[in-house]
Amino acid sequence: MIKGKVAVVTGASAGIGAAIARDLSAAGARLVLTARRADRLHALAAELGGDVAILAADITDPSVPAALLELARSRFGSADILVNNAGILRAAKLDSFDLDGLAPLIATNFEAAVRASYVFAREMKAAGSGAIVNISSIGAHLTAPGSGVYGGLKRALEIFTDALRIELAASGVRVGLVAPGTTSTEIFDEMKSRGEPGWDEFVTPLLPEDVARAVHYLLEQPARANIARVHVFSSGEGF
């Protein structure tokens, strides 16, 4: 189900995105990878070899999803899979939350994924096949001081993903989400830069490869099956 497919992965320069790219490449997919850090993308493309196209860009730029689709078309002829992985974390309590960081948080974690989903879903619907996987978080279903904005955006992404899946039912386009628990990535670097402990310091965290395997599981299902969501918890989390 993955071999020979063209997969577009956002936020692919490190962490979960890079792990997804490696997993899909090993399964025989052709890749279009995007992230802001060109040097990281070039290094990953060199590591993977084979059929990899890259676009160094800010996913919050409204023109980027269409540019990714055009790159997939021009390089490989189609786009079969979209993985909306790009995301950032800003978590702080009432008195210290940086309101200047609110707009980028919304743009990256919700708006960019919605825009890309629509751009690619229209193409896939016309083709009669395709798969979209949005990376959420178990934070979408946790209520804790300081995490309301991040969790709220992930909840919104999940509602959007479910609605898109229902809208595309019987079209040949499958839509699902993977919601990881605490995963050891750079997403906690901003918290740590402020002298606060990252959430990955409280439990034995997942590795990015664990999340990549969950994405692979969704994509390898037969056309008759649509896995709507997979939650992957660290074995140390007791929610």
Nearest to 105 by CA among 52, 71, 141, 148: 148
- Indicate the DSSP class of residue 188: G
Distances (CA, A) of 216 to 100, 162, 170, 211, 225: 36, 19, 22, 9, 14
Please report where in the chains the tokens 């279009």 appear, as a residue.
32
Rounded to the nearest angstrom, the gap between the alpha carbon of residue 133 and the centroid of all alpha carbons in its chain is: 7
- Give the SS3 label for residue 223: coil
Taking the CB of residue 226, how many other CB atoms lie within 10 A of it?
Answer: 16
Please report where in the chains the tokens 């830069």 appear, as a residue.
193
Query: In which element (H, E) is residue 117 found?
Result: helix 112-127
Please report where in the chains the tokens 């402990």 appear, as a residue.
197
CB–CB of 16/208 below 8 Å? Answer: yes
Catalytic residue among 110, 120, 150, 160: 150
Active site residue 150: yes
**What are the catalytic residues?**
150
